[in-house]
């Protein structure tokens, strides 16, 4: 099962097995990582699952939709590597992915 | 508090989140969640969308897998209902007579659908939509070419209509008010949604007074006061919900169209909190008591209730927000638009599939409805929560970027 590393804003590191077919958001929610809020449950509606994808992985993830890009521009402290974690589907190719979580989702 | 048990009545969005938040906040004792449905907490919003269409299955709806709850010691008692609370003895009594004691109790009893009481309301094919089992039933009746009549032009009715059209049913929406979404949005938004639904082939009738559902054993026709009739293979009724407050009421807790809670989600019993659709709270921003029916409120109140139970009270003051997906329209709503006195429209409601409406009261923005306009939603939410003032001329001009209207450097919601 792919292992994803979540690094919280306070530096806490969680390495978590997330099944292929799930999402990076779901992996965090399942494991009670509270830096991801995910109010809308993964329908790209709330932008409360914002994360920063490690530079090494940025180009290995399919590009964001226009809707996601528009929302990302308005989150707190957006960066070029910002993504909504509900929109990143986990595949075996993402084994080892590292994401950093923002200090606030609001 | 090592051995003290927290019992949570209700296993939906609020109940599930409350249990998880209790553990995150350091609750050491046993946690037991009692739910009437046979399922672990699941995402309800997809019920009228991807679960209705069959794209999602029951397992896909679960908010967390059972293994996760087991790992952190959250127990569930499912398919069981609580019939009473003994506040003196601090225990709940189940339908089968079992008694479970609690140190702290959380009520997350949710809401149930408002039902119709007209001739023929109990015919086969008369359906509601709130739970997994409701949608499983609806799915038995649907198929291409079937005729569906939806009673009620609110969000549930419209989302269901959109999905049934996509499944090639013939769909009519009958609304008793003069327009769809009458209770929740401006007439401009109602007109926008009515237009899109008509473009998609849905028949919408407003100001309809239904008198009867006709049929032998199965509903076959909806009859109205004006003499019109609508043939139906199935009827889905979406006319709102009623909060489940009877348990709290019978236990002597204060209720008023919801279980009354303070800003810490405490009821008038200091050992009992409540969260979600079943509660009524005083909202300082809107200066009145509110009972909200949305996932955001369920989750946010659950988190506050959990911190309260762990002795670290936290105030509930989140801005309510909602969403609705229909066809290719993503509607995102922040705030409550009731009693607005001024409306600023951005985009063209009369054509296309993108627009936003900003609601003002006494010069202050109180709500935004944004269709396929995520930046209008995101920025609108900040304007409302932070009490900002923006130039209404620029706000109404889609050529002016939303981001240029405010400074997004500060966290404020």
Out of A34, A43, A74, name the one closest to residue B379 (CB): A74
What is the domain count for chain A? 1
Q: What is the pLDDT of residues A14-46, one digit of tens each?
A: 999 999 999 999 999 999 898 999 989 898 999
Sort out which chain A residues have CB atoms less than 8 A from B18's CB and list them: none
> Which CATH number does the domain housing residue A64 bear?
3.10.20.30
Residue A106 has pLDDT above 90, yes or no: no
Asked whether residue A105 is assigned to any structural domain, the reply reads no
Q: What is the pLDDT of residues A57-69, one digit of tens each?
A: 999 999 999 999 9
Question: Do B323 and A43 lie within an 8 Å CB cutoff?
Answer: yes
Asked whether residue B22 is assigned to any structural domain, the reply reads yes
> Which CATH number does the domain housing residue B208 bear?
3.50.50.60
* Position B315 confidence tier, pLDDT thresholds 50, 70, 90: confident
What percentage of chain B reaches a pLDDT higher than 90? Answer: 94
Same domain for B144 and B232: yes
Residue of B374, B378, B398, B405 to mutate, testing the A interface (most A Cβ within 10 Å of its Cβ): B374
Residue B56 has pLDDT above 80, yes or no: yes
Phi, psi of B249 (to 5 degrees): -60, -50
Domain region containing B217: 126-237
Same domain for B92 and B27: yes
**Cβ–Cβ pairs < 8 A, chains A and B:** 65
> Which CATH number does the domain housing residue B371 bear?
3.30.390.30
Asked whether residue A106 is assigned to any structural domain, the reply reads no
**B413 CA: distance to closest CA in chain A (Å):** 6
- pTM for the model stands at 0.94
Question: Do A70 and B375 lie within an 8 Å CB cutoff?
Answer: yes
- The answer to whether B321 contacts chain A (CB < 8 Å) is yes
Out of B323, B408, B413, name the one closest to residue A45 (CB): B323
Asked whether residue A54 is assigned to any structural domain, the reply reads yes
Residue of A9, A74, A79, A84 to mutate, testing the B interface (most B Cβ within 10 Å of its Cβ): A74
**B366 CA: distance to closest CA in chain A (Å):** 18
Domain region containing A28: 3-100
What is the domain count for chain B? 3
Asked whether residue B87 is assigned to any structural domain, the reply reads yes
Predicted-complex ipTM score: 0.92
Question: Do B24 and A32 lie within an 8 Å CB cutoff?
Answer: yes
Contact yes or no for B36/B79 (Cβ under 8 A): yes
Q: How many CA atoms lie less than 13 Å away from B357 in the CB half-sphere?
A: 22
Sort out which chain A residues have CB atoms less than 8 A from B382's CB and list them: 74
Distance CA B142, CA B52 (A): 10
Asked whether residue A8 is assigned to any structural domain, the reply reads yes
Looking at chain A, which residue has its C-alpha nearest residue B405?
Answer: A74
């Amino acid at each position: 099962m792919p292992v994803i590393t979540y690094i919280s804003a306070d530096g806490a590191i969680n390495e978590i097995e997330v099944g292929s077919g799930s999402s990076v958001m779901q992996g965090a929610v399942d494991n009670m990582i509270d830096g991801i809020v995910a109010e809308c449950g993964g329908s790209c509606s709330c932008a409360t699952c914002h994360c920063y994808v490690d530079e090494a992985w940025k180009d290995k993830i399919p590009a964001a939709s226009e809707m996601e890009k528009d929302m990302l521009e308005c989150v707190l402290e957006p960066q070029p590597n910002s993504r909504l974690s509900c929109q990143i589907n986990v595949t075996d190719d993402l084994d080892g992915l590292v994401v950093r979580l923002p200090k606030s989702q609001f | 508090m090592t051995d003290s048990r927290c019992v949570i009545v209700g296993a939906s969005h609020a109940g599930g989140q409350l249990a998880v938040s209790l553990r995150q906040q350091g609750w050491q004792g046993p946690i037991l969640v009692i739910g009437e449905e046979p399922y672990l907490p699941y995402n309800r919003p997809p019920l009228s969308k991807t679960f209705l269409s069959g794209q999602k299955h029951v397992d896909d709806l679960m908010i967390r897998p059972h293994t996760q709850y087991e790992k952190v010691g959250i127990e569930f008692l499912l398919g069981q209902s609580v019939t009473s609370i003994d506040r003196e003895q601090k225990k709940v009594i189940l339908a089968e007579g079992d008694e479970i004691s609690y140190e702290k109790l959380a009520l997350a009893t949710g809401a149930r659908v408002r039902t119709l009481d007209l001739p023929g309301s109990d015919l086969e094919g008369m359906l509601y939509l709130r739970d997994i089992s409701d949608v499983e039933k609806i799915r038995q009746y649907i198929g291409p070419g079937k005729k569906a009549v939806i009673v009620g032009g609110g969000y549930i009715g419209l989302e269901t209509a959109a999905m049934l059209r996509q499944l090639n049913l013939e769909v009519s929406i009958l609304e008793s008010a003069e327009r769809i979404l009458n209770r929740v949005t401006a007439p401009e938004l109602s007109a926008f949604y009515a237009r899109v639904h008509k473009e998609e082939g849905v028949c919408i009738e407003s100001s309809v007074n239904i008198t009867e559902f006709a049929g032998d054993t199965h509903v076959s026709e909806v009859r109205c006061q004006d003499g019109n009739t609508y043939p139906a293979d199935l009827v889905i009724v979406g006319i709102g919900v009623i909060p489940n407050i009877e348990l709290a009421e019978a236990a002597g807790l204060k209720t008023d169209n919801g279980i009354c809670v303070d800003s810490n989600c405490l009821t008038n019993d200091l050992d009992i909190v409540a969260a979600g659709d079943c509660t009524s709270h005083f909202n300082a921003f809107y200066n009145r008591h509110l009972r909200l029916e949305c996932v955001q409120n369920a989750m946010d109140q659950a988190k506050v209730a959990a911190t309260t139970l762990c002795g670290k009270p936290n105030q509930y003051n989140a801005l309510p927000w909602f969403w609705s997906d229909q066809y290719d329209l993503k509607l995102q709503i922040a705030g409550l638009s009731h009693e607005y006195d001024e409306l600023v429209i951005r985009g063209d409601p009369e054509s296309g599939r993108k627009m936003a409406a900003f609601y003002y009261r006494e010069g202050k923005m109180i709500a935004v409805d944004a269709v396929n306009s995520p930046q209008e939603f995101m920025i609108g939410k900040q304007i409302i929560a932070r009490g900002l003032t923006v130039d209404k001329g620029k706000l109404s001009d889609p050529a002016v970027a939303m981001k240029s209207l405010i400074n997004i450097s500060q966290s404020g919601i």
